[in-house]
Amino acid sequence: MKRLSVTIVAVCACMNAYLPVAEDTLRVYHVGNSVTDTIRYTAFQKAAQAAGHTYIYGRHMIPGAPLSWIWDHPESGFMEEPFGYYRKALSGYEWDVLTLQPFDRLLEGSEDSDLSTAKRFIDLAVSKSPQLRVYIYSRWPRKNEDGSLDYEAKWLRKYTGDWDQSNESRDYFERLLQRLRLECPALRNRLFLVPVGDVMLELHRRMKRNEIPGYHDIGQVYADGIHLNEVGSYIVGCTFFATLYRQSPMRFSAEPYGVQDAALVKKIQDTVWQVVRNHPLAGVVRTKEAKDGR
């Protein structure tokens, strides 16, 4: 076991990292920027606990950074003790789940592409965690510079391979996942998406149909051009919970996220579970499409 701080807290945390883990416990390491922080780890931990689950987490977060920048700056940014930045955390601790957040890079064609960098993170992690599940964080598109947002059009456009923000589309994240499954055949059945962007699309459609009181489109859960407000953060947390724990989020409390509207919470939970349990790339259902890829 590693030498850690002599404090009791650090020693206990270190022991927990190596003890056998119950089925209702997940050890999750997150790599990304402030969009990954939208999970709101402490709130997620409390909400998961309320649902009867334990969430042990580490992270390597650099604001505004793509995966390649984080890889190239292994001692910069924000992390959680005792696990530390990604090199120490992934090579020194065993994890159940690794989540990777693509951002502002193209799919392939260079060393800093999302495909190349994601493979490097995966290779490092599986050396210590051979049963690891890896999730690509399929996030939402940002607003236009003038603040407008046609969410459905942006999300459903095709990836072009150009610097036109089409790397913030469903097509981009699914292509990345499929390429990773080809490049990492041993992990093919343990590579998935966290389909936040698809959940937000379905919520957007329901809002457009006036099925969610007080909301007319998904742009209302944005806090600025890319970050989300409390309701948006709950949507993200709820989607991560349903995907990673592979169960309905009906017991995933919104209180830690500061969302008090019980009717709205129920609508979000219903939508999340409808999308996640039927998504062929989320790893929750085992269909022919889930096995063979979307």
Burial annotation 231-266 (CB, 10 A radius, 16+ → b, else e):
bbbbbbbbbbbbbbbebbbeebbbebbebeeeebbe
Tokens standing for 180? 């990773």
pLDDT (tens digit per residue) in 45-93? 999 999 999 999 999 999 999 999 999 999 999 999 999 999 999 999 9
Six token digits for residue 34: 């402030």
Alpha-carbon distance of 70 to 233, in angstroms, equals 23
The model's confidence at residue 291, banded by pLDDT at 50, 70 and 90, is very low
The yes-or-no verdict on residue 14 having pLDDT over 50 is no
Reading the block at residue 102, the tokens are: 């693509």
Mean pLDDT along residues 141-168 = 97
- Quick one: tokens of 246? 């592979």
Question: Is the per-residue pLDDT at 20 higher than 80?
Answer: no
Whole-number pLDDT of residue 286: 57
Write down the pTM of the prediction. 0.90
pLDDT at 285: 82
**If DSSP codes are grouped into helix, strand and coil, which group holds residue 223?**
coil
Peptide bond between residue 63 and the one before it cis (omega within 30 degrees of 0)? no
- State residue 8's pLDDT score: 32
For residues 15 and 76, what is the distance between their CA atoms, to the nearest angstrom? Answer: 26
pLDDT tens-digit map of 226-243 = 999 999 999 999 999 999
Give the model's pLDDT for residue 288: 41
CATH topology of domain 23-292: Rossmann fold (3.40.50)
Q: Residue 220 pLDDT > 50, yes or no?
A: yes
Task: Report how far residue 123's alpha carbon sits from residue 66's, in angstroms, rounded to the nearest whole number.
Answer: 18
